[in-house]
Amino acid sequence: MTDSVRKRIVDAAVALINASPPYVTPLADDTRMQSYTPAELPSIAVFEIREDGQSEKEGRWGYLLKRAFTLRVEIRVAADHPRPIVDPMYVWVGQQLGQQQFGGLAEDCYETLLEWQYADTDQPYTLLQTDFRVEYSTLKNDPSKTQ
């Protein structure tokens, strides 16, 4: 069975983020469920968050479903002053995913929401979540085919 278009886009996004990044570590994890130990930081994790669809009609009938899903990239660091550490990773992710068509699978990809969270336990920790909206289309009756 062929993978869904969305799965192929997420796979491609993770591969793009991990393609020779300018920082030493980390490599991005795909949908990591387990917590990171402090020694594993900095970290990057990629998640699918939500998707909505809309029928794309041409005349009376339409065969395509126009979709948009939120791809979230999470960066976690342990640092007193996190910005100098987070920023190079954020810039790299934005350069790799912004306006990306993932080899013709998507129509567009762009940042829609950034959110920071902070925690202070044994060290100061920071989380930056960057949401990308990925627009693409599939056949209504087959999420693995774009046409």
Partner 1 sequence: MLTGFYGDADIPFLLGTDFGVAVVIGGQTIPGIVDNVGKDSLLSQGVSGVSGTEILVYVQTSALPKVPNRTALTVDGKAMRLRDQNQAGDGAVTHLLCEIVP
Residues that bind partner 1 (CB under 8 A): 32-38, 41, 45, 47, 49, 72, 74, 76, 78-80, 117, 119-127, 129
Select 52 or 80, whichever has its Cβ closest to partner 1. 80
Q: CB of 27: closest distance to partner 1 in angstroms?
A: 15
Q: CB of 88: closest distance to partner 1 in angstroms?
A: 17
- Lookup result for tokens 């791809």: 71
Select 2 or 31, whichever has its Cβ closest to partner 1. 31
Select 130 or 137, whichever has its Cβ closest to partner 1. 130
Select 26 or 137, whichever has its Cβ closest to partner 1. 26
Q: CB of 101: closest distance to partner 1 in angstroms?
A: 27
Residue 52's nearest CA partner among 39, 70, 34, 31 is: 70
Select 95 or 129, whichever has its Cβ closest to partner 1. 129
- What is the three-class DSSP state of 84? helix
Buried-state track 74-100, b at ≥16 Cβ within 10 A, e below 16:
bbbbbeeebeebbeebbebbbebbeeb
Q: CB of 56: closest distance to partner 1 in angstroms?
A: 30
Q: CB of 20: closest distance to partner 1 in angstroms?
A: 25
- What is the three-class DSSP state of 41? coil
Q: Name the CA dihedral angle for 26, 43, 13, 62, rounded to a multiple of 10 degrees.
A: 180
For residue 9, is it left (φ>0), alpha (ψ between -120 and 50) or beta? alpha
